[in-house]
Amino acid sequence: MKFISLTIDGKKVRVPEGMNLVEAAKRAGIEIPTLCYSKELPVVSSCRMCVVEIDGFNKPVTACSTTATEGMAVHTESPLVVSIRKTLLRLYLDNHPSDCLTCSSNGKCKLQDYAYRYDVKFREHDGARRGSEEAGFTDSSSPYILRDESKCILCGKCVRTCAVVPDRNILQFGNRGFETKIIADYDTAMEKSGCVSCNRCVVECPVGALVDRRSYREGRTWERTVKEVKCKSCDYGCNMNLIMNRGKVVAVEAGSPQNGRPLCLRGRLLTELEYVDVPHKPYKKFYNDDEGNEFVEVKWSQALNLDNVYEKMERLDEGENE
């Protein structure tokens, strides 16, 4: 592997050839703010938060889409860069409800972190809002995912995450311009859509627009500890996070992406059944083209697709007792 050398905020760093500036900066211990970027997803440079200045360039560029080159001198916190980020943050906050104290993402929200970092505050205004001024779940039809469109910043991470698996593509951008929003299928509720409730979109959401319903209100961010485990549902062994509060496992959430593998609801529920003392009731989506899809509360054997196996085990156990 060929390495190149560059300077970031005065620090010299050697990185593999072809690496983008966001990842290169991490090698130097520097975090460049990002809202739409994920190492595991296609780069779109939509949020513009990662702009940097580079010696010899005539304008700031996005670090996520700019490849590090030999001898490059990058400035991630120049006065111009900071001014751009503050302007962007003000625009984001102008379309965002100010319910941080009660938001489930309080303490793990990137928008909150960057507003604190650059001292940008909410402001009152009479201008148009893309979403509602008041926070509130706009779609609670799914027993696994809660949506609050008032908090969506249109980073598109959920859309790209859903598109990793070609036969899913449930989440998309709907409408145009100021009316743009994230929709499921043809702007239907999550229950009625083809969503398989893998909850990978929830993991990627940088704000509180998507919430894991089964871990909702199971402790604040700073009260929780997270332990990563491997799902035992199949040989892929997808990453799962055990959410612990006061030493007790209270929920299971999707873990970090792994080689583009999608999660499955069966795997999440199996992990939840294994580790959570008192898990929430399981639900299974039944697909019906005529009447629409519907979530139905089922037994754990049904949720894990073990009906026949469970019945056979019962028959065998009864036979052994005869």
- Mean pLDDT value of segment 292-308: 90
pLDDT tens digit sequence for 249-260: 999 998 876 655
pLDDT at residue 262, rounded to an integer: 59
Q: How far apart are the first and last CA of the chain?
A: 67
- Mean pLDDT value of segment 30-57: 96
pLDDT tens digit sequence for 194-225: 999 989 899 999 999 999 999 999 999 999 99
Both tokens of residue 202?
A: 């929830």
Both tokens of residue 85?
A: 């980020």
Poorest-pLDDT segment among 18-32, 48-62, 304-318: 304-318
Per-residue confidence band for 321, with pLDDT thresholds at 50, 70 and 90:
low
Task: Label residue 89 left, alpha or beta by phi (over 0 means left) and psi (-120 to 50 means alpha).
Answer: alpha
**Residues 35, 110: contact at Cβ < 8 Å?**
yes
**Residues 85, 35: contact at Cβ < 8 Å?**
no
The set of residues, in sequence order, having a beta carbon less than 8 Å from that of 255 and lying 6+ positions away, is 203, 228, 238, 239, 240, 241
pLDDT tens digit sequence for 127-177: 888 878 889 999 999 999 999 999 999 999 999 999 887 778 899 999 999
Secondary structure class of 318 (helix, strand, coil): helix
pLDDT at residue 260, rounded to an integer: 53
pTM of the model: 0.90
Both tokens of residue 74?
A: 């990058």
**Residues 297, 196: contact at Cβ < 8 Å?**
no
pLDDT at residue 89, rounded to an integer: 97
Residue position matching structure tokens 């992406």: 257
Distance set, CA 56 to CA 72, 75, 172 (Å): 9, 12, 38
Secondary structure class of 7 (helix, strand, coil): strand
pLDDT at residue 202, rounded to an integer: 93
pLDDT tens digit sequence for 67-120: 999 999 999 999 999 999 999 999 999 999 999 999 999 999 999 999 999 999
pLDDT at residue 320, rounded to an integer: 63
CA distance linking residue 252 with residue 130, whole number of Å: 33
DSSP string covering 176-243:
-GGG-EEEETTTB-TTTS------HHHHH-SSSSEEETTTTTSS-GGGEEEEEEE--SSTT--EEEEE
Both tokens of residue 65?
A: 């889409």
Between residues 205 and 233, the one the model is more confident about? 205
Q: Above 70 in pLDDT, residue 13?
A: yes
Q: What is the mean pLDDT of the chain?
A: 92
CA distance linking residue 84 with residue 49, whole number of Å: 8
**Residues 93, 120: contact at Cβ < 8 Å?**
yes
Q: Above 80 in pLDDT, residue 322?
A: no
DSSP assigned state of 102: T
State how beta strands 145-147 and 210-212 pair. Answer: antiparallel
* Cα Rg, the chain, nearest whole Å: 22
pLDDT at residue 259, rounded to an integer: 56
Between residues 106 and 305, the one the model is more confident about? 106
